[in-house]
Structure 1
């Protein structure tokens, strides 16, 4: 296709990429990773690790127990995970929900997880609330069994079974069971999943779970990590005070684990309601303390972890046999699983893909990777590790690195050894490990489209609590739960604005926590700018944007990013389309040069277009098999009206339209929307503004727009959709996904603080009424939420509730009752108000601990036309709110009678339940919405 005039101008204006720029050596990047710590041990055996990080007045509290699913005896699968849930239901001196006293003090990142080797609990709290966090963690370590009742067991059993249903309900959701059972013999401790079986969960008794606690939850089986605004001199007396009196218990016995080797290659075929076949191959490998663990990690990245991986280059780009590939070396404490997988391109024989997977893996095992492949893996891995360690806690921060090292390897600094081993890898070391472990027979699982086998449902559903059971009074044997001290107002980084030589506005903040720079090139486009009669044009444009530039093809482009430790990614919201990057600041100049090359000179090569179109249409087909993907197509016209630009947000687009798109369509979209006069650049970096601006000016300063830009038209629409139920039939679904949509009169640029704050008590928080009713009281769901979807020109309210299939109708009735009562007879209480204000103001330091969070806030402030210091002054805004004001806002904004309910579930089970709700029920199929593309009159 010939280039349009505007496209030619844009391409010719692109800068030359500085190919000669040398990336920083891996050794220099590794030196940037350091988590200094001190440690001590209590007389009862509790191991304590302390890391000081004064960047924010918060402390991460992380408790890791040496108990996981590998410790479960036969007939008690899922026990470790079930018990993790029970640990959140209060203890003898702190009865009630564990989240309540943490929310009051502004805790962030509070949760718990269970896996094969461990169970952990964690929260990040303001420094002034550390006493409370330690009291709570110690009380459930030493004073729990008296608070475990049959009612709490029944409650959390139901919640866990719905967590299991939710995972199983997804496309390919049953693979995890086949994989563990196919790779490990039944008597291997790693031979069953952490979630367990319905039958074993049914059988769990009160005596069983209390025995589990006594056997595994002693302090001598635990590691406590404190990371953040704390030092060992302060930590030691606090830990002694709260944990010192807990007696040691039985020591967890490390189970005997052999790394199994299959006698011969083993293959299975499983049917599932999926859009495309998937082929997966797996091998059992050593655990993370084995010398071969790190080289196997590198092998997995070479095969499928890099953007330029062998599976991607060969199966997706060259031979076009697959639409998606991956590889992973998942190393646990004692064993691991090495997997490669491919989603097969429609029309291709899965057996051919299986054969090619075998050949590609065998070639790596025989010949090893190249030196360049190893170097790219090392740089990428280290760069990602640097970025991940900016947070002190949560799911992957510094506390996690220290706790894992101590629990699994007896060394909190084990991460340093891993990094040293990583930096020492060579093509030969990777080849040797791959040859040793991947040369053995593989387990192969092929998932093909078809009807699922009958679902293994729970046989003993837990009873429904008609009214909440009265809470047991605290024993007060340890005194009251400690109060939290005063917390200073948030110190949000100063945001500075300037302009590049061509007028693009640069919005910048300085954060020196880690030597990383994050940048976002944000265009005033978004899904609202998609082409009305060609939905998916934006998605395909973004998918093609890094498939080549004027100087580099897609493979060379991916390799260049990896050599720099550079991540470049695209995304879109309703209002904005973004091209973002994250790179070590040591590589800032060449990284920005490559980023600008992609932004300014994407070539949209005709040779790559058919493949990428196939990948996108396969993704669309997959969305139509997933409950969330189906909902994303049905709900937008309900929330906004079919003629609203926001109604174009229907998954990845219209498959037929995408199939018909040409290179010219993509060039036209880019010329209209992805242009400098529609762009702003947001940056958070440890480098000073002057340096960042100089780098950006060299890359973007001479970029000029030509031609006419696109236009989004938002016309006022006062019409409201008729309340009803839209049921999308998805056969064999063990769960139904309920989404309630309410079109409001709000816009994102309005002051939504009162609406968002009052919603904390209804649907915006774990402790909100919707979640506490359906999850904690009735146990019909793993989690329920209700939130305002905030776009610049609209802010509808959306409830999301995945529930067990046989409770679908009753769940909608319960949701309607809760929402109605909230705006009529039972408005926000003083307790809920105080909790919302305290939680919101005290959590600010934890919420903005990372540069990624600061960067997102800067973009939201700009989009919603708020001042750059909005978050620096938000504490005063919260304190000025009143409960009467909030309740009046809820009554004005939320109309319970106007909701439209979208349900994705099995019609034969669900429809009779819905007919009892007194609402019209419309039944459709996923196939009927596949090509639904109501034309909008808001084209560009």
Structure 2
């Protein structure tokens, strides 16, 4: 379960769903989230949004309780209870995820922040009864299932989640900012995840009291979005939730912005590759019109590649590798932040001075009309794209719930849209002058050890606001009543007996006059057209070239084209409400555009220029090179980042095209040596029409799109030079186990990766292995995660996966574990993998059936968005699959036998495994050596032997 930081999360409503008039030349797109609502007699508010594009329903429930509501000494209770509510209920003995996996639920999770706790999942329409039964059972029938054993288990899981976050570079920043921005008495002063001390002291009585006070139906909002109507929602929610008694009505905390009048500054050190500056302000609460204005201010200052701060600090003065600005909405008061990654060797205070100067200039003068218009276009386009998803974090159901919980109006997003629509330059200047002219706090993170980042949190003292936060069980609100239920819960979870069919759009094909194949999947739900030009050349094309060439070249395509430099190209793209980008992966590359339908033709013009006419200007190459090198350095400070740089070369061996960091970023020496000619040569050799397939998904037809594509691509001809052929040779498995250790002094966790090569994605038996891997480590309820997370509480998660590849795939199992359990965790992983592979603990019929069922039944909900459809078509293109691949996946999955799964499990060879462990070697090296798994070597972050 994810746990977004209060300050760290970007306001979902305003960042994805706010829009305004886009100027006289830009067509306005009319998109809304229509809804209906009702309230049950017990106070449960239900909001219904009908969207019939897929046979799925998003079930999203918000409880109006977060870390702000925690009394002194009970920090982390809200988040801890989020975890406990996934551990079964009085009428369902087992993991909450279990029944959902059996019906193919997608986008399932729970999150906690300072203001609310939410749970969400998308289920097939026919499984709605099951989902409502499960949600209502944990709302009304939980406490009898909460035992001391479960409390201790989830306490350990949460503490490992805390360690995992703190073990990342800059991982302690947001907690420190919360403490610095808010006084000790403020509800936002302490972190969402809480302190170790408070988590350790939580008693069974404490958590039960917490549940009784906060988790009643009258403190919740339920959103049902998708393939559902109001009448169905009323009948089913009354059946399942109507008999749950209301809890107390807890007084709502008042707005508490905690405005600041003085500028303050602090520094901390961490295991980071470069200094980073955080400059933050306390600003108005969610729903305040000036917060919407500040969203536009943030966009203009640092929300895009051509923003003011980017122009000054990245392009002009070349002082930072990246900079961003954003506003973050919360219920009592919000945050505004600027983050800058300072180039190594640059004086941090010089960057701070420029940041202060640019903010001061905006406060004094405000934005230009052109800047305001462009910012509004960006938000309009974000709104249009955001309303495509019904569920998941930030989808339409989330937006409706957020508005209902915080503003008592599910349609409050419309007020935000109207505010942005009417905003003037004077409005933005006024908002900046009021909130950004004073009271800023600067936190500078410098490279160093973690000692300064580990200072104990100041003790919070009780205040008046704590009186609204009960220590004892409060009396239920007598204004609410219950309705007798028809549901017999003794029968257990309702069985889902039928399931909807997959609705995957038909693939339509055409060929342009220059030979480019076009594949179209029509999706008319929103006025957006997405296109991806796919090229058969990825990181593998680096073989014989400088490492990182493919990825760097593709990354440079949108850094200037057809005479428009990087800033001008970004300006033009944003003025159209388009998104254009390019990138590479292991076996392929692509250039993509997401275009608003009214601006399709001019967006395609830019798209074609980026593909066909990149400038590769030396000034842009030099700038991107410095940022790229900083990115490689950042990879090496992230535990999984360095492990994934080192492991592939160990698996494939020197000279193999896959023996590279799987980020595709290359290494410092090769990136420093890259010249313009290298980029031109890669573009000439691989970015060509005879190596391209164009995928189109969205609001268009072949009749409409083909003439536009002919207009922009027909005269693009392939060069005479023959297209290079990339060969991916087969490698043999390692003859014996090996263990490689990488030191990360001061780490509170160890990151364990273990891997080998298995059959390619295109192998006829690849599906057999994927099902086998699902049993071992592919799902939340798979063996590895249940062992290390739920049974042992040594890790926040443990999973395994095979990365898609034309050649032999890398199979990797990974877990971030508490540092004192590193050797124990490796032993458990090794034992489980060995017993599974040898069939000593073979995949059972029930385990295989569960994975097959999950994979098959999740198909109808897996292709809700155009992006998901495009990804599936991309796989069809890359791996030479038939056009009906997705439609036949159900039949082929169901046909996989237990014998085939057992045989596929045998592809794992315990004696051929390669282990990479990143952690504090002073604590883990000797225990790992004592395991005697195989020869142990110590490497540096580049994979070079140290001993």
**TM-score normalized by structure 2?**
0.92
2: CA distance, partners of 1:709 / 1:870 = 28
- What corresponds to 1:880 in structure 2? 895
- What corresponds to 1:428 in structure 2? 426
Secondary structure at the counterpart of residue 95 of structure 1: coil
2:929 to 915, 925, 935: 915
- What corresponds to 1:841 in structure 2? 856
1: CA distance, partners of 2:67 / 2:880 = 49
Secondary structure at the counterpart of residue 202 of structure 1: helix
- What corresponds to 1:325 in structure 2? 323
- What corresponds to 1:871 in structure 2? 886
- What corresponds to 1:499 in structure 2? 511
Would you say 1:614 and 2:626 are equivalent positions? Answer: yes
Would you say 1:762 and 2:776 are equivalent positions? Answer: yes
Contact 1:655/1:931 (CA < 8 Å) preserved in 2?
Answer: no
1:729-744 aligned at under 5 Å gives the runs 729-744=743-758
1:822-833 aligned at under 5 Å gives the runs 822-823=836-837, 824-833=839-848
1:902 to 916, 921, 933: 916
- What corresponds to 1:781 in structure 2? 795
Moved more, 753-762 or 558-567: 753-762
- What corresponds to 2:290 in structure 1? 292
2: CA distance, partners of 1:747 / 1:124 = 28
2:717 to 704, 723, 737: 704
- What corresponds to 2:565 in structure 1? 553
Moved more, 717-726 or 80-89: 717-726
- What corresponds to 1:121 in structure 2? 119
2: CA distance, partners of 1:116 / 1:528 = 45
1:35-46 aligned at under 5 Å gives the runs 35-46=33-44
Contact 2:822/2:928 (CA < 8 Å) preserved in 1?
Answer: yes
Q: CA deviation at 1:201?
A: 1.1
Moved more, 739-748 or 196-205: 739-748
- What corresponds to 2:525 in structure 1? 513
Moved more, 705-714 or 873-882: 705-714
- What corresponds to 2:352 in structure 1? 354
- What corresponds to 2:173 in structure 1? 175
For residues 199-254 of structure 1, the C-alpha deviation after alignment (integer angstroms, 9 at most, x for no partner) is 11111111111111001000000000111111011111110100000000012332
Secondary structure at the counterpart of residue 269 of structure 2: strand
Q: CA deviation at 1:23?
A: 8.2
Q: CA deviation at 1:455?
A: 7.4
Contact 2:268/2:452 (CA < 8 Å) preserved in 1?
Answer: no
2: CA distance, partners of 1:333 / 1:205 = 29
For residues 447-469 of structure 1, the C-alpha deviation after alignment (integer angstroms, 9 at most, x for no partner) is 1111111776999xxxxxxxxxx
For residues 86-143 of structure 1, the C-alpha deviation after alignment (integer angstroms, 9 at most, x for no partner) is 0000000112100001111111111100011100001111111110100000000001
**Structure 1 residues 549 and 26, CA gap change in structure 2 (3 angstroms):** closer
Contact 2:754/2:915 (CA < 8 Å) preserved in 1?
Answer: yes
**Structure 1 residues 27 and 484, CA gap change in structure 2 (3 angstroms):** farther
1:365-404 aligned at under 5 Å gives the runs 365-404=363-402
- What corresponds to 1:19 in structure 2? none
1:718 to 729, 732, 735: 732
Contact 2:730/2:808 (CA < 8 Å) preserved in 1?
Answer: no
Would you say 1:861 and 2:859 are equivalent positions? Answer: no
Would you say 1:635 and 2:650 are equivalent positions? Answer: no
Paired residues, number: 894
Q: CA deviation at 1:47?
A: 0.2
Secondary structure at the counterpart of residue 800 of structure 2: strand
Would you say 1:686 and 2:699 are equivalent positions? Answer: yes
- What corresponds to 1:67 in structure 2? 65
Contact 2:60/2:398 (CA < 8 Å) preserved in 1?
Answer: yes
Contact 1:26/1:423 (CA < 8 Å) preserved in 2?
Answer: no
Structure 1: 5+ residue stretches without partners:
1-21, 460-474, 933-940
Contact 2:328/2:334 (CA < 8 Å) preserved in 1?
Answer: yes
2: CA distance, partners of 1:109 / 1:715 = 37
1: CA distance, partners of 2:107 / 2:608 = 35
Would you say 1:654 and 2:667 are equivalent positions? Answer: yes
2: CA distance, partners of 1:661 / 1:796 = 28
For residues 768-816 of structure 1, the C-alpha deviation after alignment (integer angstroms, 9 at most, x for no partner) is 1001100111111111111111201122211011111111111111011
For residues 501-551 of structure 1, the C-alpha deviation after alignment (integer angstroms, 9 at most, x for no partner) is 110111111111211111111111111112545212223222322221233
1: CA distance, partners of 2:942 / 2:235 = 65
For residues 659-684 of structure 1, the C-alpha deviation after alignment (integer angstroms, 9 at most, x for no partner) is 12211111112111222221111110
Secondary structure at the counterpart of residue 581 of structure 1: strand
1: CA distance, partners of 2:22 / 2:50 = 31
Contact 2:642/2:941 (CA < 8 Å) preserved in 1?
Answer: no
2: CA distance, partners of 1:295 / 1:917 = 59
- What corresponds to 1:242 in structure 2? 240
For residues 307-327 of structure 1, the C-alpha deviation after alignment (integer angstroms, 9 at most, x for no partner) is 211111110011100001111
2: CA distance, partners of 1:678 / 1:746 = 22
2: CA distance, partners of 1:29 / 1:872 = 37
Q: CA deviation at 1:370?
A: 1.3
Secondary structure at the counterpart of residue 696 of structure 1: helix
**Structure 1 residues 692 and 930, CA gap change in structure 2 (3 angstroms):** farther
Q: CA deviation at 1:739?
A: 0.7
2: CA distance, partners of 1:57 / 1:173 = 40
Structure 2: 5+ residue stretches without partners:
1-20, 458-486
**TM-score normalized by structure 1?**
0.93
2: CA distance, partners of 1:206 / 1:382 = 48
